[in-house]
Structure formats: structure tokens, C-alpha cells
């Protein structure tokens, strides 16, 4: 796969300065990788300066939300890297989302080449503190000009990236158990990483904020009893020393951080239970102290401990050990692996070739 580099992209890189306070997802590297699908095939992969997109106002993405995305990170630590972590898994999940949303699949070599180019050219802008990274956002939109509701036959695939610090500024999350709205139902698109799932979650985010919470915990659509996920994150708890997480089904995003943690926890000797999790059983376990920790995990969030679960009725369940020694151990193990500080026994880490500009 050849990459066509616009000289203006190199100029933009040479003029770019990383601000001191980077936050999360606010500062973008000054380049983007772009590839268009038309007439049944993918065109040339291009590296362009970062900038606005020109879209016909009837482009289907603007009306019918035919859109998918991924979240990935590249890591730098004490002169090592840049590393990608399980990038092939993101490429595969991207195409699972594409299938569900009736979009063209992006060949894995185009997806990975685009991600590697962004990382390779952005090497100087990857923050170096542990827990910081280059957050990478591959995404695809439907660009066909037509107001009819039918699958688009034209798509634009892009990769942009943002040098980023922590996703959450708070130590422990206060999480709202959402008993009114639902995120996904069986047969729906809950497992796809598509904008509509996130747009539909925002009303609960507003409600959570107004009640003093930072996140929503979604329950299943049919019985409003079983824990599903947390919009941008998967959910874990520690009960009697075992890790529990809801089993994957088509209403839950199959998190790559989630899967990695399950394997790493087993490597560390923990038992991991993946099954349906009744919210009432969890609340009882928090009340009687057998549930000692709860945490959220995801690419952006890494592992973020939960200090309290509550509901809109003012009930609160405080987690016994919000400092979470097991969550801490898992976070440290995951980050050490991603940042190249421990041996990669599963072959999950890839060193990306740095490209000089």
C-alpha cells in the first residue's frame, strides 16, 4: 500500500508545537490520513495536513448517521517506542462495525498503514509520561450525496490523532445506574462502534451530570436488571477476590482493553467470571462488603476506579475500597505492557517505524 504524502502535511508537521497543557482529545497533530471508497473500490491512501472536510450537504452521514470509529493509542516511554497495542484487533472490530452499519470494509493493510503513518510522522508529539499517549481516532463516514435512505456507496476513511493525558480529571467515578433510558437492545447496534450509540447516551450523561455523577451504567433493555456497559467503557467489579464482568452480547461493545485485562488478570492468577450481572446482586454485594472494588476500563479511560454507584432516587452505594488494589495492579500491568516496560508474552505490542520529516 503506497502512501501519497502531500508536502503541505510535512510543512504542517515542521511548524507544529505541542502545547504544555494537552488534556484529552483537544490538541490534534497537524496531519490526517485519508482514503476514499468509490465505484466499488478504495483509492489512494493520502497523508494531508489536518483540516476541515468538504462534504455535500446531502452526504448520508449528515442525515442518517452512517458512521463508525475506533479508539487506539500509541505509547512512548523513556526513549522507547512508539508502540501500538493490539492494532490488528481494532482493525478487525472496525470492520465488524462496518458490516453492521452496511458500510464498505476497510482492508486491514489500508487501516494499519494509515495508523502507522500517523504514528510514525507524529513521533515527536507523543507525550512521554506514563499514562499519557497519542490517542488515535480512525473513523469512516458515508459521503454519497443523496437524501434517499439507502446504504451509501461512497465512503471516506480517515485517521486523526491527539497527544493526550488522562481522560478523567477526577480520581474516582460516581456512576449513575440508568433505570429510565436504554442504550441498546438485542438485535440492535450496541456492539458497533458507531456515533449513534454515543449520541443516544448523551441525554443520560446530561442527567448524570445534573445529579452529581460523571458516568452512566447501562442496564439491559428487556428487564432493566442486567449490567451492560458504560458508553465509552466496559464495567468490572471485584467480588470475593474474583473479577466479574458482564458477558459479551450484541448489546455490549467488545472492548479490547476488557479482553486484554481478562487475559492479564488470569496471568496474574485471578479468577475471572464473565456472565450476566444482576444489578441488585451487585448492590447487595457492595452493601455486605463482598464487592470490594468496581472500575471502568477502555482505551481512553485505561482503568478508572469507581467510588460510588447511585440512582436518580438519591440512593447511594459506596464502594468499600475505592483505591482498588486489584484495579491498581491491573492498570500498572497493562500500562507496563503498553509502554514497553515488561516482556510482551502475548505478542500484543508493535514498534512503529519513526518517519523523519
Using the minimum distance from each CB to ligand COI, give the nearer residue, 33 or 300: 300
For position 298 contacting ligand COI by CB under 6 A, the verdict is: yes
| CA-CA-CA-CA torsion sign (102, 228, 136, 63) | positive
Cα separation of 353 and 290, whole Å?
A: 47
C-alpha cell at 253: 461493545
- Only one of the segments 36-44, 113-121, 171-179, 298-306 lies at the binding site for ligand COI (rule: CB under 6 A); that segment is 298-306
Among positions 179-218, residues that touch ligand COI (CB under 6 A) are 198
What's the closest the beta carbon of residue 137 comes to ligand COI, in angstroms?
Answer: 8
Cα separation of 212 and 129, whole Å?
A: 30
What's the closest the beta carbon of residue 301 comes to ligand COI, in angstroms?
Answer: 6
Tell me how crowded residue 316 is: count the other CB atoms within 10 A of its CB. 12
Cα separation of 27 and 72, whole Å?
A: 16
What's the closest the beta carbon of residue 84 comes to ligand COI, in angstroms?
Answer: 14
What's the closest the beta carbon of residue 87 comes to ligand COI, in angstroms?
Answer: 13
**Under DSSP, is residue 197 helix (H, G, I), strand (E, B) or coil?**
helix
Q: Which of 90, 95, 201, 299 binds ligand COI (CB under 6 A)?
A: 299
Torsion of CA 7, 8, 10, 12, to 10 degrees: 170
Question: CA distances (Å), 346 to each of 238, 253, 267, 327, 343, in order?
Answer: 24, 22, 11, 21, 9
Using the minimum distance from each CB to ligand COI, give the nearer residue, 46 or 194: 194
Please say whether the beta carbons of 74 and 84 come within 8 A.
yes
For position 300 contacting ligand COI by CB under 6 A, the verdict is: yes
What's the closest the beta carbon of residue 140 comes to ligand COI, in angstroms?
Answer: 14
Please count the residues of this chain forming the interface with ligand COI, following the rule CB under 6 A.
6
Cα separation of 353 and 121, whole Å?
A: 9
- Only one of the segments 7-15, 212-220, 294-302, 338-346 lies at the binding site for ligand COI (rule: CB under 6 A); that segment is 294-302
Among positions 37-76, residues that touch ligand COI (CB under 6 A) are 71
End-to-end CA distance of the chain: 20
For position 232 contacting ligand COI by CB under 6 A, the verdict is: yes
- Do you know the residue count of the chain? 357
- Only one of the segments 100-108, 235-243, 295-303, 323-331 lies at the binding site for ligand COI (rule: CB under 6 A); that segment is 295-303
Residues within the interface to ligand COI (CB under 6 A):
71, 198, 232, 298-300
Amino acid at each position: 500500500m503506497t502512501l501519497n504524502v502531500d508536502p503541505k502535511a510535512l510543512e504542517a508537521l515542521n511548524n507544529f508545537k505541542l502545547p504544555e497543557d494537552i488534556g484529552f482529545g483537544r490538541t490534534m497533530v497537524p496531519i490526517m490520513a485519508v482514503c476514499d471508497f468509490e465505484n466499488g473500490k478504495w483509492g489512494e491512501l493520502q497523508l494531508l495536513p489536518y483540516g476541515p472536510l468538504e462534504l455535500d450537504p446531502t452526504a448520508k452521514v449528515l442525515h442518517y448517521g452512517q458512521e463508525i470509529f475506533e479508539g487506539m493509542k500509541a505509547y512512548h516511554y523513556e526513549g522507547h517506542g512508539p508502540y501500538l497495542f493490539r492494532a490488528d484487533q481494532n482493525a478487525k472490530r472496525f470492520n465488524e462495525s462496518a458490516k453492521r452499519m452496511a458500510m464498505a470494509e476497510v482492508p486491514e493493510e489500508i487501516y494499519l498503514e494509515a495508523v502507522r503513518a500517523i504514528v510514525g510522522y507524529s513521533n515527536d508529539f507523543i507525550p512521554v509520561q506514563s499514562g499519557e499517549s497519542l490517542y488515535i481516532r480512525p473513523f469512516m463516514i458515508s459521503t454519497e450525496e443523496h437524501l434517499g435512505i439507502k446504504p451509501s456507496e461512497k465512503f471516506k476513511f480517515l485517521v486523526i490523532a491527539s497527544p493526550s493525558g488522562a481522560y478523567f480529571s477526577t480520581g474516582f467515578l460516581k456512576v449513575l445506574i440508568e433505570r429510565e433510558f436504554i442504550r441498546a437492545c438485542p438485535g440492535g447496534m450496541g456492539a458497533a462502534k458507531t456515533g449513534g450509540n454515543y449520541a443516544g447516551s448523551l441525554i443520560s450523561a446530561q442527567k448524570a451530570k445534573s445529579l452529581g455523577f460523571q458516568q452512566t451504567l447501562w442496564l439491559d433493555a428487556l428487564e432493566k436488571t442486567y449490567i451492560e456497559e458504560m458508553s465509552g467503557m466496559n464495567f468490572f467489579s471485584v467480588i470475593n477476590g474474583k473479577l466479574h464482568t458482564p458477558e459479551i452480547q450484541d448489546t455490549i461493545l467488545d472492548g479490547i482493553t476488557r479482553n486484554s485485562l481478562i487475559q492479564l488478570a488470569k496471568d496474574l492468577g485471578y479468577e475471572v467470571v464473565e456472565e450476566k450481572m444482576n444489578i441488585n446482586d451487585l448492590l447487595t454485594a457492595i452493601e455486605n462488603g463482598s464487592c470490594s472494588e468496581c472500575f471502568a476500563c477502555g482505551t481512553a479511560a485505561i482503568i478508572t476506579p469507581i467510588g460510588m454507584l447511585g440512582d436518580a432516587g438519591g440512593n447511594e452505594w459506596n464502594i468499600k475500597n475505592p483505591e482498588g488494589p486489584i484495579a491498581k495492579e491491573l492498570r500498572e500491568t497493562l500500562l507496563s505492557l503498553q509502554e514497553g516496560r515488561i516482556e510482551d508474552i502475548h505478542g500484543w505490542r508493535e514498534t512503529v517505524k519513526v518517519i523523519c520529516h
